[in-house]
Structure 1
Amino acid sequence: MQTFSDRQAATTTLAKPPPAAEPDQPESLHRALIKTVQNAGLLNRRRGFYLGLLAVLGACLGMVVTGGFLIGQSWFQLLIAAGLGVLFTQFAFFAHEAAHRQVFASGRKNDLAGLLVGTGITGISYSWWMSKHSRHHANPNKIGRDPDIDMEALSFDEENARRKKGLWAVITRRQGYLFFPLLLFTGLGLHLDSVRSAYSRSGPATILERILITVRLTLYPTIVILLLGPGMGAAFLGVQVAVFGLYMGLSFAPNHKGMPIISARSKLDFVRKQVLTSRNIRGFGTTTLMGGLNYQIEHHLFPSMPRPHLRRAAIIVREHCRQAKIPYLETSLPASYARIVRYLNRVGLHARDPFDCPAARNLA
């Protein structure tokens, strides 16, 4: 199996299209992968798993809320707030999987589940997130096409970093070291973007979504402040939103950040576009911890594949990539964070020499 080493996995920009492949080779690889996973039954829904997951999360939520009422006026409530931040992230993972049609065979049922859980419980606009995430899946790490690398606070290519001015330029020069502190504000940003999208005249939000997001983002804070008072209530909400944002960022960032950035001019076949820009995270418990996002390569190749099937699919995809000589990256969670920090610092300092990435060099 061909993998990246620590040095080889660093990001660069794929500025030129790949050399011409053998006739039908990319399409044949994609067809072979789809046929293999279909024959193995790995695209079949696992409704029982997801209903069980919802039951467990619901029970945990009930226990945390009950604990909060029993504790009363105490700063130990901040532990309850942190627990809610973790649980809301786990609910967001479920909403993400429903959006990808992993839960039910019916698209309408998936959308309803994603809306009720993603908007009603976590307070994120389902329609806004669907639009943003669909564009990411279509063109991961591609300049001008992937909204996940088009951020005001962070730069993922040197050209973008050079355009930053004022405070953003100061942040960009130190963005690797500031990456984790900035994640604490991710939850707040998600809520603000959701509200803006839900009430935008051009936004796709439904009346139900607007009702859900309004109730979730007004009733919940009101109850907290009434029960705990303004000071402790504000601290509770701050901790909950910060933990939610940090957990979300720590789960989504390892998947693509620090992987090859594709220039706007480049054209890659579907399999290479998804595999070369993604990394898998190995380690005990990571599937539960990251809601299946640790199998990012397989998730991008088969977005509707249920979480319980991703591990078996990884064995198949790894072997196909080995035969096709496509680098397939797996690493640990700490190693992925270290690579992200190094890459962001390098970009932020406008490094003249891009990272050495054999995959990018072979495709140049």
Structure 2
Amino acid sequence: MRPSSRKTLTAGTSKGSRTRTGLLSGYVLRVIREQQGYTQDEAAERLKVSPDTIAGWETGRRPLTAIPVGQMLHLRHQLMQMGASPTLLLALARALEADVLLASVLDEDTPVEESPLGAMVMQRELAEILVWPLNGVAPRPVRALPRPARPRRGPAPSGPQLTAAERHAFFTRMRSTAEQSRRPEQFLLRRQALYLSGYDRDPDTSDWLAHQQRTERPDDWLTTWLNNRSVAAVAARHGDRDRMEHFIHTALQDDDAGEAANLAYWAYWIGEAPVPQLSDEFIADGSLGPWNGDKLLGHLVDGIAPEHGYVDLNIHSVWALLQVRPNLLHSGEAARALRERLPIMLDSSELSSRARRELESIRYAIRLAEA
């Protein structure tokens, strides 16, 4: 096995150093406070704590993850009474979970086999918050917010930020986790470690990920399918659309099992089925349970844009979804957005021949539905 080329940094990540445990939830709490137009002093008065406590929560110096469960529930109820956005309160809950995952990665005393990253299949809401300090992209509930009711005073970070040493330690740990997690029962841990490694901007990331794929020796259909999908997704994120096109052609088209697996994966990722899954088996065995598809359609349509890294997969997934759930063409906002997006995409010169055929097929289906 080729070792990772990343050099080890010890500054801020050595044994005994303080692991950050409240970075993400603290920042979301700050967003909640600012959206309500409160200063830290005013929020402290409403929540009946000291201003230093508010500052400590928001910076992670006094991590929210260290608060007892009962006190955390009480704080949540207080925020509700203050009029906090329900979507931001859900984001706060996900941020607390993401903080636990982030801290476990940065804590080198946590054995690889005990990493909580392998405990359950991540969904978008959690993943977007976890990678926020890695890619600088705020999760959807935060991106959709209007400007704060009261402007910030002075310079302030636009999101939660890791130090250079923490960022390096994170990706170094993710690579070592992926490389060490080779047993069948560790596949989920390895897959999710590879997914997070894909956010590394190090020049050798693409080569390292390609090497990981070449050294993978899956012995079942689902593992092979997921491995190929993960590698294609990371390649697309780095601007390589050919690998994704190859995946669509070989693993989805004319393969009913592959198409069903793709839609089940998307449905779980987007939160159509709210029950957490502890392994990837639901993708292939049909155990995900009932899901509507309207939320998934909306998500996929949002990604049908020339500049979107997953545009080819999104187009094909919409086409496949409408094959099995044509009634979604009559569903509200998502269907309207699809109708508006089609002429824009069909005018694009960057579409593959397959994607153009599928969009034309979708347009024909819309005309039939409107007839």
The TM tier, using the shorter chain, reads under 0.3
Question: When the two structures are superposed, what TM-score results if normalisation uses the length of structure 1?
Answer: 0.26
